[in-house]
Amino acid sequence: MYLNLYLVLNVEHNLLLHHIHLEGIVIAIASLHDN
């Protein structure tokens, strides 16, 4: 049970990091287009 919980939290953490990374790329591209 604890192993499953750990895996779920690990996956959610990775998805969150990936989402932040994608948002960062989008923001960077948007700022480049503004200049």
Report pLDDT for 27.
93
Average pLDDT over residues 13-35: 88
Report pLDDT for 11.
92
Residue 18 scores a pLDDT above 90: no
DSSP summary character for residue 1 = -
Residue 20 scores a pLDDT above 90: no
Report pLDDT for 25.
92
DSSP summary character for residue 35 = -
Residue 10 scores a pLDDT above 90: yes
The count of residues in the chain is 35
Average pLDDT over residues 16-22: 86
pTM of the model: 0.50
Closest CA to 33 of 25, 2, 21: 25
Closest CA to 15 of 25, 4, 5, 23: 23
Pair of tokens at residue 26: 């989008």
- Residue pointed to by tokens 């969150």: 16
